[in-house]
Amino acid sequence: MKQLLIISHAPSPNTRCLRDALIAGAEAAGGVTVRSKAPLDTVADDVLDAHGVILSTPENLAYMSGALKDFFDRCYNPCLDETQGMPYALQVRAGTDGTGTCKAVDRIVTGLRWQAIAEPLICRGDFRDEFEEQCRELGETFATALGEGIV
Ligand SMILES: Cc1cc2nc3c(=O)[nH]c(=O)nc-3n(C[C@H](O)[C@H](O)[C@H](O)COP(=O)(O)O)c2cc1C
């Protein structure tokens, strides 16, 4: 069975809620194995074992979380030759912006030659219930596409 790996830095109740919605949506799709790991706990083998990746991070100081950057710092080279074409999606929790994180992640995954399955989902501003629904939908859409071999 294909595996969807959710790499989520979730330091607050709201970001944990979004992470859990990504997981719940992916699990609801069925047909794929869903794994969730914190970026600081994620190693290159986790990515090598996966068939798709969802990256989830808050935006801090116009950039991805340091934890997600640390994941890329450690795993970029070991993944470089092995994960080209990896389907991925990005979800950002942002207070006012989110674009700096999208640009920074885009530069890195472009180097890895990963393929976005959707535009980045930026959950921006005061926390709203619809963010949870959007994350659930992203997880379900990705897992469905992965399970059916569309991505
Ligand atoms: C030090 C710091 C820097 C931040 N920088 C940004 C930023 O550059 N852009 C942005 O949109 N939000 C920024 N934020 C807001 C965070 O993204 C927001 O607090 C985070 O997503 C958590 O939201 P939550 O409390 O709903 O989980 C920053 C927050 C902190 C504490």
User: What is the residue-averaged pLDDT of the chain?
Assistant: 98
Per-residue pLDDT tens over the stretch 98-144: 999 999 999 999 999 999 999 999 999 999 999 999 999 999 999 99
Distance CA 25, CA 144 (A): 10
CA distances from 16 to 9, 13, 23, 67, 76 (A): 8, 5, 10, 15, 25
* pLDDT given at position 150: 96
98 lines ligand 1 (CB under 6 A): yes
94 lines ligand 1 (CB under 6 A): yes
Instruction: Give the mutation target among 60, 68, 103, 122 for probing the ligand 1 site: most ligand atoms within 8 A of CB.
Output: 60
Q: What is the mean pLDDT of residues 28-42?
A: 97
Instruction: Give the mutation target among 9, 20, 59 for probing the ligand 1 site: most ligand atoms within 8 A of CB.
Output: 59
95 lines ligand 1 (CB under 6 A): yes
**pTM confidence score:** 0.98
Per-residue pLDDT tens over the stretch 94-103: 999 999 999 9
Which residue ranges form the domains of the chain, and what is each CATH number?
A: 3-147 (3.40.50.360)
> Angle formed by the axes of helices 99-112 and 66-80, to 10°?
10
99 lines ligand 1 (CB under 6 A): no
